[in-house]
Chains A and B, each alone.
Chain A
């Protein structure tokens, strides 16, 4: 649909500039063909064929996400409201039955829902029901918490994501897998697994791996999935570097001062490389995440170095000047990439 719209705009321009001439009959035939193609797309895939429809679709996507989250909260609150009044066998049956029932509902909805908004909403509830299931089962039987449920949630969310082509469960599944890896690594080092965030190096590795995965794994018809991989991976890796810039614990046996310098240099290098990769390969998502973290790292450092002793007006002046300098820099990079493409 986007290609057809772009073609139409370009055609109008070419006709206006006189670079192309079409007879009235040719134009009418072309318009009729394009209209039929668009109508066929709308009928078969329920895609947006006008800008107004696109804006509505965005609103509906936001609504389905918010609605899904609200329904998840309702499910959790309802469970806790009833919980104390139920005997153990009923509780266990409900816990195991809830995700399976929601899965059946998801299958039914997905077969009828061409727009996929309701499928996305029920998919979110299915993942929430699974998380609730193992969490509450653990609480009920006073099971010592372990990282293993994270792996189960990850697998479940990935099945839902790939089975029904849903992006939010994919993001949840990838995040759970990264947290499980980090928790397991902390546990292997002899520490308590729940303090995995204190040693975020694993997130750095896992995030990089997740971001690079679409380069080797093709996603065919799931055109949105590589974006999710790149964004989740980049946020995990760069988020880990933000924590590592203030080391309190690390797998590397080195003094804090050495680690601080190492990770500060690494943070800027990785954020810069992310922007460069995004610009080079035309991944706008990577460019945005990389730029946001580059700015965050910079402001974090400036705050840490100067906030205590510098007059506040001067501090904010430098922040403003730095933001303008960054804008100029990014504009130059953008211009260079554009000229590189046109050559």
Chain B
């Protein structure tokens, strides 16, 4: 053991890193399976401390149910399709279920501004980190449309790769006793998209240079376009970045 300890540990380092890099190469080997041009509205620049020089973007989205002051994105039927049990309410029945992974279809809806009155928009913006929206935050045009357990199933339903983005996500179910809009008893299961995987998208050099300069500016003054590619394993990478001054 003593003789081979450095060798064994070093082999583990090289092999594990090698496997991870092979996975990255496999993801990108066939070129992007989907490409989408997004702006600062959908990809928020993550604020970091001065000790962190990396540049990362976070995907922002919203869902139509928010307009009607409904809390859930997915109804009971969809949750069952995604593998949740959703047991009927009965005394002693468990009313919590564990989050499950799924593929999520987002629609990039350019006409979103026409559809929603501006005063409503400010109150319904959701961010991926679950924090309440800042009044000045720009609204994402990415709308959650659907979810499925199989990627190809979802892609068949939404074949336009420029309009529909499919990403991995996590669905969190919860039991709703009262309707938030009417306060009436509803007793139903609903689900929401709790996170998109990966949570943040790393921007490497040289693309990060221009975005890094924007970090010091107020959020309302940051304007940029990012071409985002997704590979075979639905792991994204940044294609190009264009900062608008």
Interface residues of A (CB under 8 A from B): 77, 80-88, 92, 95-96, 99-100, 103-104, 106-107, 126, 130, 133-134, 137-145, 149, 152, 155-156, 159-160, 162-164, 186, 189-192, 194-195, 198-199, 247-249, 255-258
Contact = CB atoms under 8 A, between A and B. Distances in A.
Nearest to A186: B98
Q: Which secondary structure dominates where chain A touches chain B?
A: helix
Interface of B: 1-2, 5-6, 8-10, 12-14, 16-17, 20-21, 23-24, 27, 51-56, 83, 92-94, 96-101, 168, 170, 197-198, 200-202, 204-205, 208, 212, 233-237
Contact of B201 (A107, A142, A159, A163): A142
Contacts of A83: 52-54
Nearest to A98: B13
A149 B96 CA distance: 29
The 9 closest A-B pairs by CB, nearest first: A163-B5, A84-B53, A255-B92, A191-B98, A141-B24, A152-B16, A192-B99, A80-B52, A159-B9
Contacts of B98: 186, 189, 191-192, 195, 198-199, 249
A104 B10 CA distance: 9
Contacts, number: 141
Nearest to B90: A255
A248 B93 contact: no
A272 B47 CA distance: 49
A192 B102 CA distance: 9
Contacts of B12: 152, 155-156, 159
Nearest to B82: A190
A191 B8 contact: no
Given A198-B98, A255-B94, A142 B13 contact: no
Given A137-B20, A143-B24, A195 B53 contact: no
Given A96-B13, A159-B12, A195-B98, A141 B202 contact: yes
A88 B21 CA distance: 12
B54 A87 contact: no
Given A84-B55, A85-B53, A134-B16, A139 B100 contact: no
5 contacts: A82-B53, A141-B237, A142-B201, A143-B24, A255-B92
A149 B17 CA distance: 10
Contacts of B2: 163
Contact of B99 (A96, A143, A191): A191
Contacts of B237: 141-142
Contacts of A258: 92
A46 B170 CA distance: 55
Contacts of A248: 96
Given A96-B13, A152-B16, A256 B24 contact: no
Contact of B6 (A86, A107, A138): A107
A142 B53 contact: no
A144 B197 contact: yes
B212 A84 contact: yes
B53 A100 contact: no
Given A100-B13, A144-B233, 8 more contacts: A84-B55, A103-B9, A139-B54, A141-B202, A141-B237, A160-B5, A191-B98, A192-B100
